Each structure stands twice: as structure tokens, then as C-alpha cells.
Amino acid sequence: MKQILFTGAALAVIASGSAMAADGILVGHIADITGATSAVGKPYGQGIADAMNYINAHGGVAGKKIIFETVDYAYEVPRAMAAYKKLTGSEKAVAIQGWGTGDTEALVNNVAKDEIPYFSASYSGHLTDPQGKTSVKGAPYNFFYGPSYSDACRGLVQWAAEDWKKKGGKGAAKFVHMGDNHPYPNAPKQACGAYAKEMGLEVLNEIQYSLKPGDFKAQCLSLKESGANYAYLANTSGSTISLLKSCETVGVNVQFLANIWGTDEGSLKAAADAADKLVWVVGAATWADEVPGMKLVRDISKVSDAAGTEARPVHYIRAICSVYHMKEAMEAANKAGGITGPNIKKAMELGKDKVPAGLEGVCLPSTWTAEDHRGTTTVKVYQASTKGGAIGMKQIHTAEIPRRKEWLGW
């Protein structure tokens, strides 16, 4: 298994023995640096590593350093399972910062049995029902920062319904889900489709395209022939770029809607004019936002960019929010008897509208409870402007998705 250690001003230590584990807090970090979702996995993974290194350089957690290694599992579930097995061997991790939907969902029972809080970069709605009240199985030890894929898609649909009315659209707007046949793109498909119908949209048959970048002219022609007005892109930014360019080539005239991993500042630049007017979800402040918490974000960024000149994408910033929620839960756990998995879980489930100290205005207020792990149902909808090479992104809508009981775990 290929292992990558992100380095910075405060170098992370690789856990290699019981003495080292006894001296610090062992946290797993499973990331996609080279796989199908690496275009967004790499900056997110860097944000996780930088945040933990920064914490270590500034007193650690309750005086203890976080011990971690970044394992590149290349978006292959068996490799994630192997990494998890290593983390739960003789030196049991007290928490894990993970990545994808396929691997995170595959590990739900394991992390529950082992009582290890698993902070994923998968925002699958299936991970939000801790007690298994409405879903097939509960996910009591799974947490993620940001709206679920289902709620984020509902927010986009809400905007689309309003946009259709503003445009004076006649009849029902046609909505289509586009993505790979994979747990991650599929996660919100049924939930969002049901909400789209509830909002008066006509839901068309899905169109599949690969998570890996490629030539998607055939899919774009199918999209054109479908007569869709709004197309939800469920893949990550790499394949989004390819799809947008392919669709531009064949003259598709559709309003594209992208999920939270579907684009970022870099992919907007790469897609150029093809990404103009793209609408998508942003789950935290952006690098350009002037909010109090951006000072801490910029300080953390200097761990791997000492000059402080690199503009970080939105995924990097969400990673920091994830780590700092974990950090504060660990600090609370330390005061409640020790930094253990069960105590971290309890700490995560206490309090309301939590924003980590120092990240005010950056991270969305979040509330997790023992019955509901939907941290937030606030969906910030942005629109891109890319014509003529000038890249812009502007918030155009905020959706407050209701916490319906029947949507828990969906």
C-alpha cells in the first residue's frame, strides 16, 4: 500500500510503536491522492494534514500531539479496509479522518463495533441516522461536516424550481441526475429525485458518465435529446470539466447543477467558458471571503505554503472545519474522563450550532445529536462566471432544508 506523508512546518510523526502512541493521540487519515477523485481528494487531504500539523505546533490537544500518517488508498475500497485494519491493530486509533462513500459506508459496522468516531469526506445521507431508526443500519460513530449530499441536492433543486419560475418556464422543468454508477454519485439520487418531483419538476432517466475524466460527447448528446432543463452532476471536478467541455462542443443548452465536490476554483478555470453559469454547493467560506476565521485558515495554510501565496480551494477549507470539530470534541472528551472514541462521540453530540473557536464565519454552525447526525441542513448555492477568462463565484441562494424524520439516513 502506497503511503504518503504530507509535510509542512510542523512535521507529522508516523505512528510506528507503542511508545509513540502512548505519547500522543493516534488519528487515522485515509485519503485519495492518486485515485479517481484525487482532483478534490488531494487539496482536502492537504487541509486535513495541515490542520493537524498546525494543532501540534500550537500545543496539541490537551497538551498531546496528534500522531497520524496520511495513507493514499487511491479510491479503492479494499485498500481503505486494509488501512483501517492497520489502524485498529495493536495501536487503536481514537478517531479517523476518512474520505469516500464506498469505503466509509463499508466501514460503518466496523467503526461502530470498535467505537471509533469516523469523520468522513463522504456526505452520504446514509451516514446520518445514528440509531438506525429510518435506515437499514445505524451509523452511530459516523460524522461529517457540511450538508449531506441529499440535502445539498435538495437545495439545488429548490433553487432550480425558483429559477424556472423566474424565467417564466412553461410546464414542469425537466431534471436529470448524471453521474457514475458508484456509491458516491448514487447516494443522493433517489432522495433528490423524490424532492424534485415534490417541487414540481419532471425527473428524467439518469445519464451515466465516468468518475474518470474522458470524452463524454455521447452522454452530452443523450442529455441534449432528453430535453432536460436542469442537470445535476454527481461526480467530482475532474470528470465535471470533461463533461462541461464535451457538452459545449455538441451545443448543449442546459443549466448544470454540481454537487459540493463537483467543482472548485481550479476546475472553473480549467473548464473556462464551458463552466459559465454553473451552479453548485459551497459548504464553508471561500478563500476570498473576509470573515474573522479566515486568519486561522491562512495561518494553517502556511504549514505547507510558508510564503502564504497559494489560494486554497473550498475543499481545503472544509477539511479544516472537519479537523477542528474533532479537536474540540477531543478537548471536551479529555475533560470528561479521557480522549476515547465513546467520549469523543458524546462530545460531538453535545451543544447546538457549534462553530470551532477561531473559525467564526468560516464553518457553518453545526449540531449533531445522538438521534440525528445531520450536522447542518443549510445549503449555500453559488454560481460561476467564467467568460473571457475572469473566474468569479457568487452566492445566489441559501436553502434551509427541513429536518424531516423520514429523510434521516436517506
Res 388: pLDDT: 85
Given a cut of 50, the residues of the chain with pLDDT beneath it are 1-21
Res 134: pLDDT: 80
C-alpha to C-alpha distance for 10 and 297, rounded to whole angstroms:
16
Count the neighbouring beta carbons within 10 Å of the beta carbon of residue 277: 11
Res 100: pLDDT: 98
Q: Would you say the CATH fold of 149-282+377-407 matches that of 18-147+287-348?
A: yes
C-alpha to C-alpha distance for 331 and 94, rounded to whole angstroms:
13
Q: Which residue has the cell 491562512?
A: 298
Contact 116, 397 (CB under 8 A): no
Pick from 402, 405, 396: nearest CA to 156: 396
In this structure, whether the domain defined by 18-147+287-348 belongs to CATH 3.40.50.2300 is answered with: yes
SS3 sequence, the chain?
Answer: CCECCCCCCCCCCCCCCHHHHHCEEEEEEEECCCCCCHHHHHHHHHHHHHHHHHHHHCCCECCEEEECCEEECCCCHHHHHHHHHHHCCCCCCCEEECCCHHHHHHCHHHHHHHCCCEECCCCCHHHCCCCCCCCCCCCCCEECCCCCHHHHHHHHHHHHHHHHHHCCCCCCCEEEEEECCCHHHHCCHHHHHHHHHHCCCEECCCEECCCCCCCCHHHHHHHHHHCCCEEEECCCHHHHHHHHHHHHHCCCCCEEEECCCCCCHHHHHHHHHHHCCCEEEECECCCCCCCCCHHHHHHHHCCCCCCCCCCCCHHHHHHHHHHHHHHHHHHHHHHCCCCCHHHHHHHHCCCCCECCCCCCCCECCECCCCCCCCCCCEEEEEEEECHHHCCEEEEEEEEECCCCHHHCCC
Res 9: pLDDT: 29
Q: Which residue has the cell 433528490?
A: 192
- C-alpha distance from residue 10 to each of 21, 67, 76, 230, 306 (Å): 18, 12, 29, 46, 11
Res 389: pLDDT: 83
Res 136: pLDDT: 66
C-alpha to C-alpha distance for 222 and 259, rounded to whole angstroms:
21
Residue 337, classified by CB atoms within 10 Å of its CB into exposed (0-12), middle (13-18) or buried (19+), is exposed
Res 90: pLDDT: 78
> 190-210 pLDDT, tens per residue?
999 999 999 999 999 999 999
> What is the grid cell recorded at 319?
477539511
For CA atoms 231, 234, 236, 239, the dihedral sign is negative
Q: Which CATH superfamily is domain 149-282+377-407 in?
A: Response regulator (3.40.50.2300)
Res 17: pLDDT: 31
* 34 bridge partner residues: none
Contact 268, 275 (CB under 8 A): yes
C-alpha to C-alpha distance for 357 and 2, rounded to whole angstroms:
35
Res 91: pLDDT: 78
Q: Which residue has the cell 460527447?
A: 217
Pick from 51, 280, 306: nearest CA to 156: 280
Contact 16, 3 (CB under 8 A): no
C-alpha to C-alpha distance for 49 and 68, rounded to whole angstroms:
9
Q: Which residue has the cell 419532471?
A: 202
Domain boundaries of the chain, sorted by first residue? 18-147+287-348, 149-282+377-407
C-alpha to C-alpha distance for 30 and 101, rounded to whole angstroms:
12
For the entire predicted model, the pTM comes to 0.94
C-alpha to C-alpha distance for 265 and 311, rounded to whole angstroms:
9
